[in-house]
Amino acid sequence: SEAADLLGLMHYMEGLRLITVLEYVALASDENVTVTDTEFSSVPVRLYLPRRAPGGLRRAMVYFHGGGWCVGDAGMKSYDHMSRRISNELNAVVVSVNYRLAPGHRFPVPFEDVYSVTKFFLQGRVLSQYGVDPARVCVAGDSAGGNLAAAVAQQLLEDPEVKTKLKAQILLYPALQALDLNLPSYQDNDNKPLLPRSLMVRFWSEYFTSDPALREAMASNRHIPAESGHLFQFVNWSHWLPEEMRGAHEYRGPTFGSAELARKYPGFLDPRASPLLASDARLRPLPPAYILTCEHDVLRDDGVMYAARLRAAGVPVTHHHAQDAFHGAMMFILWPLDLAVGHRLFNTYVDWLRENL
């Protein structure tokens, strides 16, 4: 991807999307689940409906895939497999959303797509059409999808048109803030597999713009203007991280950058892009959360700090921290990339859903 980008052959993210193409599986139902591609609120979704008799109203999940807002698809083999299993094992309706991707569609377009799908699905007539219990609906997502799920959960609370309340929010190794890209987890996992710091910085910057000035400022962690300094209280890891995760790192406070980038690309200071920037008052009424974090992951501290902030605001939180796992580990549950850690994380997640959704 990098070579093709430098040579002007294709955009960096177009190169990465070849992974999506290789992992894509054609639409197909099976003996347990009927799968259809349709649209909700003009946004493509892959819909999973259990075949067995409901025995009452069903649970439902609206799912947002990961991929740094730039790659990924509901039809990728791992996402399709997980959606089928959740639909079958929990007798649940699963709506897996194919939101538009950056760089073609930058923030807030991906957020607006997933929000409009969720709002559409939560209408009483739609829930009734699919036999869904309005008291048992959750949003969920991994990585960038976890970011979108957290942002949707926050936004729904401020929307007077939405009467149905979410039962839960499931955030799997989520990206939750673009304020401090030099957290202990970013430093400790700088060059770890799947999501090195440089790639996460690229994903964040491409979500807002292809202007290399923002990417370079983010890479040096000097992209926040002094007038936004008050926001650092929400991501102050010396307060929100447990001591064992701070390690030998010493908190020194922010190094501020030019105000021009924030004026040109205000999205990175918007809670819809960085849910960790939400005030305590905004967090307080949120639904119970299941948060998965992995030790060997640049995004580890985002999830850990959000769990701490939600708890401090009185929100029930189940925080599962996997000491032996890396970013995206739950995707590795199919041959030829079939890992015990992936199965363990997925089974723990499904067990929580079974008991709490």
CA dist 38 and 232 (Å) reads: 41
145, 101 contact by CB (below 8 A) = no
Phi, psi dihedral angles at 145 (to 5 degrees): -70, -30
238 is a catalytic site residue: no
CA distance 36 to 238: 47
> Does 1 participate in catalysis according to the annotation?
no
Q: Select which of 78, 83, 143, 185 is catalytic.
A: 143
Euclidean distance between CA atoms 320 and 325, whole angstroms: 11
CA distance 118 to 114: 6
Residues in CB range of 343: below 8 A, 6 or more apart = 333
Residue in 113, 142, 297, 302 annotated catalytic:
297
In this structure, are residues 325 and 294 in contact, taking their beta carbons and an 8 Å threshold? yes
DSSP 152-187: HHHHHTT-TT--PPPSEEEEES----SS-S--HHHH
- Residue 79 CA to residue 83 CA, distance in Å, equals 6
Beta strands 132-142 and 289-296, pairing class = unpaired
Which tokens in the block code for residue 137?
Answer: 């609906």
Residue 76 carries which DSSP code? Answer: B
Q: Which of 65, 223, 296, 327 is catalytic?
A: 327
The angle formed by the CA atoms of residues 350, 30 and 115, to the nearest 5 degrees, is 55
Positions annotated as catalytic residues are 143, 297, 327
